[in-house]
Amino acid sequence: MNDREALTAPADLESEVAAHTSPARARLELVVVGLGALVVSLSQSVLIPVLSVLPADLDTSASNVSWLLTSTLLVAAVAVPIMGRLGDMYGKRLMLLVALAALIVGSLITALTSNVPLLIVGRAIQGISAAAIPLGISLLATVMPRERVSSAIALVSAMLGIGGALGLPLAGFVAEHADFHALFWITSVAGALAFVGILTIVPEAPSRSGGRVDVVGGVLLAASLVTLLLPLTQSATWGWGDPRVAGLLVASAVLFVVFGWSQVRIHDPLVDLQALRRKPIVLTNLASILFGFALFASFIGTASYVEAPEASGYGFGSSLLVGGLAMLPSGLAMLFFSPVAARLIEKRGAPQTLAIGAVVVAAGWLMRIVVTDSLWQVIVGATVVGVGTGIGYAALPSLINTHTPPSEIAAANGLNSLFRSLGSSLASAVGGSILAANTVILGEFAVPSLTAYRELFALCAGASVLTALIVLLIPHRRTV
């Protein structure tokens, strides 16, 4: 079977299934899958605003508290591609339910304890749920009526940014009025509602590839990703000169080579390297790394920025709640522009739509560099970034789905999500170094300078422009 036949043959069965879905049922399916994606995104970012107060609340060190984020990131990086492959093999809906179950269990653990090791375990279990967003996108692409697929994918994709933007004001509100455990009671209840809704309303995708689980490949991929991401996330704490950073990065390179060697020598590989070598997929994943890099400063460059003291020369001395609310218009912009992105994809194609989104993001960062006098100016700049983010997030899965056989869609979307996360992790390491290297001393404390933020915003703008240039090399092709 050639590539064109592989892309179209199973689609007929999925179109027949989707044709029997009524408009009302399709809306319900989108609501429950979208809720799951929103809660997962919320759980990933909800701790960021309260990290500074957790060492005192938990009677532990800041380095121990940082593992509440690092554990989630490391597990998510491993779980997303593996769960995507399992979704193609055994059912996208099934693995989506597994991801949401992990969210509920992890949330309950973190809601019920103040023991730091148990909190880290709970957060690590929550990391498995990161696979819910690419799995939800892949599931809707196969069970929704064809005319609603673009808008459904755009909305669920936007949830990745919307959840983060909503998580900041929610965390700020909780920090001022309640204990941080309340955040995880919220995610556990909302996750349970999404789980029940998907279980009772959403059908399983009809195409399943079957096969066996590549255990060796899974172990090698997990080791490769952990040894890559661990030094990136800990570089600010360890320092780039620490032998552990260089040693882990070298180990990661060796493990990736061994992983690639293993994947071309077995019958049912965890990752189809032949598919990854297709030019549109290569360019899309490269663009995803750059786009993930460009969006890294969305949170740290807004909430922390406006919460900085006025003596810093740029901050407004805002509270945690105000810092979070400054991101709220950005999240709403992602939500409102997701249908716009769907129409752009239908009329202009996914490559041009992603390019438009990337240019808008670059414009937002340039505005943040130039206009810094008032709080409303910062919010407008962040909102412009949000508009571009919503448009770009909608286009990425459409690009992947267009150039991937239906039997491999979940794995391909999982890998694309991983590449986006790798870009954000790389930006975190680079951005953390920039912000730490150029500071302003305020009494006993040091905060990043305005110059450091401007350098970070300039890097993000440059990554956005590169994203736009790369995706324009991808040929336009109508989404199956």
| pLDDT per position as a tens digit, 322-360 | 888 888 898 888 888 888 888 898 888 889 999 999 999
**Joined tokens for residue 90:** 């055994």
Indicate the pairing of strand 445-448 with strand 439-442: antiparallel
- Dihedral sign of CA atoms 341, 346, 348, 353 in order: positive
pLDDT at 184: 92
For residue 16, pLDDT beyond 70: no
Per-domain residue ranges for the chain? Answer: 3-214+268-471, 215-267
pLDDT at 370: 93
SS3 labels along the chain: CCHHHHHHHHHHHHHHHHHCCCHHHHHHHHHHHHHHHHHHHHHHHCCHHHCCCHHHHHCCCHHHHHHHHHHHHHHHHHHHHHHHHHHHHHCHHHHHHHHHHHHHHHHHHHHHCCCHHHHHHHHHHHHHHHHHHHHHHHHHHHHCCHHHHHHHHHHHHHHHHHHHHHHHHHHHHHHHHCCCHHHHHHHHHHHHHHHHHHHHHCCCCCCCCCCCCCHHHHHHHHHHHHHHHHHHHHHHHHCCCCHHHHHHHHHHHHHHHHHHHHHCCCCCCCCCHHHHCCHHHHHHHHHHHHHHHHCCHHHHCCHHHHHCCHHHCCCCCCCHHHHHHCCHHHHHHHHHHHHHHHHHHHHHCHHHHHHHHHHHHHHHHHHHHHCCCCHHHHHHHHHHHHHHHHHHHHHHHHHHHHCCCHHHHHHHHHHHHHHHHHHHHHHHHHHHHHHHHCEEEECCEEEECHHHHHHHHHHHHHHHHHHHHHHCCCCCCCCC
pLDDT at 18: 53
For residue 397, pLDDT beyond 70: yes
pLDDT at 232: 82
pLDDT at 98: 96
For residue 480, pLDDT beyond 80: no
| pLDDT per position as a tens digit, 240-252 | 788 998 999 999 9
pLDDT at 101: 97
- Selected residue with higher pLDDT from 478 and 184: 184
pLDDT at 151: 86
- Selected residue with higher pLDDT from 117 and 22: 117
| pLDDT per position as a tens digit, 52-98 | 778 888 888 877 888 888 888 889 888 988 899 899 888 999 999 99
Classify domain 3-214+268-471 by CATH number: 1.20.1250.20
In angstroms, the Cα distances linking 304 to 32, 230, 309, 424 are: 32, 24, 10, 17
| pLDDT per position as a tens digit, 162-221 | 887 787 788 878 877 788 889 999 999 999 999 999 999 999 888 776 677 788 888 998
Average pLDDT, the chain: 85
Average pLDDT for residues 153-162, to the nearest whole number?
A: 83
- Selected residue with higher pLDDT from 44 and 34: 34
pLDDT at 20: 54
Average pLDDT for residues 272-289, to the nearest whole number?
A: 86
Q: pTM here? A: 0.85
pLDDT at 476: 65
Instruction: Using alpha carbons, select from 324, 321, 306, 317 the residue that is nearest to residue 173.
Output: 321
Backbone angles phi, psi at 241, to 5 degrees: -85, -5
Spell out a b/e string for 293-306, using b for 16 or more CB atoms within 10 Å of the CB, else e: bbbbbbbbbbbbbb
For residue 7, pLDDT beyond 50: no
pLDDT at 230: 87
Average pLDDT for residues 117-142, to the nearest whole number?
A: 92
pLDDT grade for 39, boundaries at 50, 70 and 90: very high
